[in-house]
Structure formats: structure tokens, C-alpha cells
Structure 1
């Protein structure tokens, strides 16, 4: 198995180590040297850099044994998210997925999709769901993505992290980041938010085992009406574990524009987002759903491109799709505040479809 991955990123040339957020930026000449010296031993400059950056000793080893060389994709895509499925072992009150059906590609389809992501030039891949760790294909799909040289982030509720086969997989093929959601600091609250008895016990056990395994872990503190009283305790717990954490308190409608999650919004934690100034969706980033359909992001899902039938070439249309989805239309057309709007147009559309209160997403609601 390779130790390092060399990959082109636009005009830059990077050397990465999977499981690490650090990178080496190479001059073009050095990158070409690696491309043409596969049978030779690791050059001194790379061995020295790898030792300094990752404390890895590559001295005297063959390049083709320790380095996976990635080819550039035909477009500029370097990042993607992939929902392995929409099924979940939780039924959280604020879930944006709506009906959580466990369906999607079989393992053969997942292999095809991963090959398309690799050939598109995706370097950073976020694997999510639903809950990705409950998918029986997760171990094989994760390992294959790793072998293809992708830097992997896994988004999970942590309910399966206590299982030996999951921990052994992540220890052997370490993710660049494992982000775990936290829904409370006590069993009563956590189980109520997830609507799953025993969820807190499984989460707590898995969290401790993941820390003990040395995984690169951080937490997402999800704040809703039912657990807002425990937020200080959730923060204290995260700090006591020595983990980085982020807080998410603004609750969105479902991806289909359903209003079901909105009553879980904790009013005192409804925060003003920063003005939306654009994003790389559909340009250097895209989202793939459980059926292998590519869209600009998790929210702007239509129109989409069937990557299983169209392959990499279909991605050429994502830029124009992104432009069309970002146009201010409907109730936002001609808005005098659109220059400082705090949500993108696809997000505004799902709020409008859900008939959400304006204060949840629009500055007009503040007047």
C-alpha cells in the first residue's frame, strides 16, 4: 500500500499523506521527476520532506512502492461529497433528509461511481449519508476510495464506532477527518432527539473507542429545542476530551422542501448567517447521491447528472446548472436586499417551499 499520494490541483502539484491534513507543494519540475522515475528509489529531497512533514522514513525505498501518482481530471473538480445511502439508524427530530429510505447503488455500482470520481480528479471525498457506517458496503467502498488515493472524511452519528470491524478499518486506512455529531450530554436528551433508545450509550462507547484508536476526530454539536439546555455541558464534554467542535443551530427544511424539521429550531439559537458571497458548488465541487447522480450540492439536487451512465463527461454541464440555480427568481426576484442575502438561492427555495418563517432565512423577517 502506498505511503503518499501525488496529485495535480489546478496549477499546483501536491504530495499528500492520507489521514493527514498536511501537504507538500511541489514545483512542476519535481512533480515530473516523480512521474518519470517510477522504477527508481525515492529521491533524497522527497525522503527528507516526508520525514520533516510526517515523520515517515522513505529512504532507499522504490517510488512505485510508496507513491501513488494521481492524474488530473478533465475539469477543475477536486472535492466531492457522496451519500452512500439515505438510510439511518436514528430518526432525529431535525433531520433534513425527510423520509430516510435505505436504497441506492449496489457494490458494483459503487465501484463504477468511485472510478468516475477518481477520473474526474476528486482528491478530497466526504462520505456521508444517512448514516454511512450502517451501509454493508461501507467497508469495501471506503477501502477502495482510499486505495484510489482520495483524502477521506467520514460524517457519522458515531453509533457504530464501537464495532471492532469499523475501528480496525479506520485505523488501517485512517480518514483525514472523522466528524461525529453530538445530540446531547445525557441519555434522556440524546435518545429523545434521535428518537432511538440506547443511542447515547452506543455513541458514548464509540466516541471513547475512536479517541483511543487515535483517529483524527472532531465533533458537530447539533443544537435544537430539545437539547439547548445541555449545550454548555456538550461544550464542556468536547473540551474535556480534547476535541475540536463546531456548533450547528440553524435548522433547515428537508431537501424536498418539507417543514417537518422546523419546529425543532431553538429560537434563542437562531443565528444570522454571514452574507452569501458565492461558493464552489458545481465548479470545483459537486455532490453525488446514493444513485450516483451528481448535483451542485446537497441542497440544489435538480437538475442532476447520472454519473453511472454518462461518466466524467457529464460533469461538463454542472457549471451551467450552478448558474441557473443561483438566479434570484420567484419571491426573491428584484429583492433590494439580495446583495447581502444570507442564504444561497437553492437554500432559499427549500425554505420557501416549506413556508418557513422569514426570520429563519431572510432579512425581511427581521423588519
Structure 2
């Protein structure tokens, strides 16, 4: 059966994003090149025909071009490199394209230079990211931008979509920040969906107006209203995740929706919606979903919803 092999080749990175789930101890762990090739070979033998090379930051690995060549030789039809884009110089992009990369994912976090540099905690990083983004767009390969939804970014999301569209990016994925591992204690970074979704819906409308393929991850369809068709659950596909620590199906990841609450029963999306992430339920309970379904909440929040 076809599917995606998602290879997290290592946790180290050339940035230190303030919401990153990777801990300092995790940054020390990585897969050796031989182990990566072995995983790619195993994936092909089991029918996986698409490959994602991610991290951490995969472009800091000197053997990245060689890994892409190995993936192409093994017969992967689609080879993606997920990056923050800082090392996507014109020459590096050309090498990756020649090696066999078919798509680039660039995490922009947020589009404003000062806010971006503060978030990634590296002065001058925004200029490198933006030039890297321009270089992958110019390469002719498919480009996807990943934008993070967190307390200090969601209000800027509509403006970010305008910024992205102006750079001729065809596809955008909206990621909702997670309270796991290195970000577990930064509860203030996770906004209530009731506050963030109106800005997300503005962004979705702008994306449609610009002809963008724009997808929302992690927000249940019932909260998106008429924009529910933009909801996307990558775990609904066959995706195997390989990390330096473990191998698992994406549907079982803590970063994926896992819990349907009582209000989900009878919802028209019940059969296709994975539910809510455990970290979100622990923080805010099920009041928002229950309200959307005109039902009383049953799962209490750890703290009251904040208006920020």
C-alpha cells in the first residue's frame, strides 16, 4: 500500500524557537546515515512511495544531498525536505533539486522580521528565511509554507497569508502549537481555539481569494464552521514516522488529534475527525466543542480560558 515515510533524521537545529517541543537532551540524538538509508530501504519494501526528510533541521546534515540521491535511487516518487529555509541558498537548492527533491516545506513561523527573529531567537534570521523561500519558489519545485498558530502569532495570520501569497507560494499549512516535551510548561503559548479561529477563518478566506491551497491542522472541523473543508488530518493517510527514539504511525502521535469527547457523538464529522489533541483538552477541556454542538461541557479545563 502506498504511503509516506516521515524520517526525523535528528533533533539538532540552527534555531531555538521559543515554542519548540525539542528539549536540549533530544538535540543530542540523531540517526546515523546508514540507519537512515536502511529505514528508507525498509519503507520501500513495505510500499511507502513518498518520503519526508525532516528534523530538527535536516539541512545542517552534511550528508543530506546523498540521502536524497539514495531515496531517488530506491524509487521514492515524491521526496520532501522540511526546513526553516536558512540554508536554502541558490546553490544548495540547486543541489537538492538535482539530487531528486520534488517538494520543499519551509517553516516561516510568522512573517514579520522582528517578530520572527524574536521567536526563533536569532537576530537576522528572517532575511535568510525569506531569501531561502524565494530560492525554493524559483526552483520550480512544489513549495509549502508552514505557519504556526500560537498566542503571539494568530492575530498576524491574515497578514501572513498576504505576505505568503505575494511570494508566489501555492500551499500553506496552519499548525496549532503543541504543549509537549520542550514546550510542555509554556501553557501561555497555546491560545484558546475560540480566540484563534476567527483569525484563522480570515486567513482561509484570503487564501481562497489568492488561489492558495490552504489547510488547517489540529483544529476540529466543528469549530471551523463553513471552512470545515480546509481541515486536514495527515494521520488519516498511511504515514510512518521514524525518529531517533521510536517508530510509530502518525495517527498515534501526541501531535495528532486523538480524543473524541462526548459532544462528538452524532456530529456529521464524527467518522472522519480524529478529535482533539490530549494537550489541548488538558489545558482547556471540551467547552468549545460542546458549545459548537449546543451541549454542556463534560471535561473541565486546568485553567479558565484567558482573553489575551
Global fold match (TM > 0.5): yes
* SS of aligned partner of 2:147: strand
How far, CA to CA, are the matches of 1:95 and 1:84 in structure 2? 17
The structure with more radius of gyration: 1
Alignment of 1:172-183 (within 5 A): 172-183=98-109
* Residue 349 (str. 1) matches residue 278 (str. 2): yes
Please name the residue that 2:66 is paired with: 140
Shift of 1:189: 0.7
- The answer (yes or no) to whether the contact 2:85–2:132 under 8 Å persists in 1 is yes
Shift of 1:282: 9.3
TM-score by length of 1: 0.60
Please name the residue that 1:57 is paired with: none
TM-score by length of 2: 0.70
Shift of 1:182: 1.4
Structure 1: gaps spanning 5 or more residues: 1-75, 302-324
How far, CA to CA, are the matches of 2:107 and 2:123 in structure 1? 17
Shift of 1:247: 4.7
Residue by residue over 1:158-202, the C-alpha shift from the partner in whole angstroms, topping out at 9 and shown as x without a partner, is 1111262x2122221343321111123332111111122221021
Residue by residue over 1:280-331, the C-alpha shift from the partner in whole angstroms, topping out at 9 and shown as x without a partner, is 859833211135x320117537xxxxxxxxxxxxxxxxxxxxxxx9798xxx
* Residue 149 (str. 1) matches residue 75 (str. 2): yes
How far, CA to CA, are the matches of 2:182 and 2:111 in structure 1? 30
Please name the residue that 1:93 is paired with: 18
- The answer (yes or no) to whether the contact 2:11–2:29 under 8 Å persists in 1 is yes
How far, CA to CA, are the matches of 2:51 and 2:160 in structure 1? 28
Please name the residue that 2:244 is paired with: 290
Please name the residue that 1:48 is paired with: none
Deviates more, 1:197-206 or 1:270-279: 270-279
* SS of aligned partner of 2:278: helix
Shift of 1:361: 7.9
Shift of 1:145: 0.7
Please name the residue that 1:79 is paired with: 4
Residue by residue over 1:52-77, the C-alpha shift from the partner in whole angstroms, topping out at 9 and shown as x without a partner, is xxxxxxxxxxxxxxxxxxxxxxxx35
Q: 1:114 to 1:266 in 2, by over 3 A?
A: same
How far, CA to CA, are the matches of 2:89 and 2:164 in structure 1? 18
Please name the residue that 1:300 is paired with: 253
**Alignment partner of 2:190 out of 243, 260, 265:** 265
Alignment of 1:1-367 (within 5 A): 76-99=1-24, 100-150=26-76, 151-162=78-89, 164=91, 166-248=92-174, 250-254=176-180, 256=181, 259-267=184-192, 268-270=195-197, 272-274=219-221, 281=235, 284-291=238-245, 293-297=246-250, 300=253, 335=262, 337-338=264-265, 340=267, 344=274, 348-351=277-280, 355-358=282-285, 363=290, 367=297
Residue by residue over 1:85-125, the C-alpha shift from the partner in whole angstroms, topping out at 9 and shown as x without a partner, is 12222222232444441422211212211211121111011
Structure 2: gaps spanning 5 or more residues: 201-218, 223-227, 298-308
How many equivalent residue pairs?
258
Q: CA RMSD in A?
A: 3.5
* SS of aligned partner of 1:110: helix
